[in-house]
Amino acid sequence: MTQDDNIQRLSREIIQQAEADAEKILSDAKVKADEIRNQAQATMDGEKKRILEQAKNDADRIRGQAIATAQLKARTLILESREKLLVEVFDSSKGKIPAIQQWNDYPVIVETLALEAVQQLAVNKVILHADKVTHDLLKESVLKKISTKFDGTIELGEPLKKGTGIIAETIDGHLNYDNTFETRLRRLENELRSPVYHLLMGETL
């Protein structure tokens, strides 16, 4: 075999080996690429799952907040409507107070108002102030009758400029007891709010 033949044979072997190495490299690269692609897909699937789970949690949280906000607004509207209705009822009641003076038994009511007021002061000398209609009913005989029931003396003071009923006052003016109907209604308002609302709603007490 000549030297040229040896060179050609060696060249062919080198080329064959290079091709074999290239094929192995390509094969290994393909396997590695598949592994990388599969890993990337798995990572993407995991990330996608995590993102979807996070999105679901966020959606549940937002929906819960929206429901809570809606419920709060509904309760607020109910309370506002209830308050408006109660205010209208009590304002209407206050507007009807002067009509009480037209009742046949109003003179008896006046005596009761006066006696309650002087007894609350717990002194033996009291001045009574009343609206004009009530003032005219507090005649001397009525004042004496009331005086005997609390063992003291009563004077009639200046008529009230506002309010319907009676305000009792000590001689020195340091103490007074407001027994007008407007004040009596205001004292009872908190107690009456719940039953009045139930009645307005058509419920029975």
d(CA 72, CA 164): 41
Number of domains within the chain: 2
* pLDDT on residue 187: 86
Average pLDDT over residues 20-32: 74
pLDDT, one tens digit per residue, over 143-183 is 988 888 877 889 999 999 999 999 999 998 899 999 999 99
Q: How far lies 42's CA from each of 32, 33, 35, 46, 181, in Å?
A: 15, 14, 10, 6, 82
SS (HEC) of 159-187 = CCCCCCEEEEEECCCCCEEEEEHHHHHHH
pLDDT, one tens digit per residue, over 77-96 is 777 777 787 778 778 888 88
Domain boundary among 52, 73, 95: 95
**Which CATH number goes with the domain that contains 120?**
3.30.2320.30
Does residue 205 form part of some domain?
no
Q: Comparing 199 with 166, which gets the higher pLDDT?
A: 166
Q: Has residue 204 got a pLDDT over 70?
A: no
Regarding whether 143 and 171 lie in a shared domain, the answer is: yes
* pLDDT on residue 130: 94
Range of the domain at 174: 103-200
Please tell me whether the overall predicted TM-score, pTM, comes out greater than 0.85 for this model: no
Regarding whether 196 and 117 lie in a shared domain, the answer is: yes
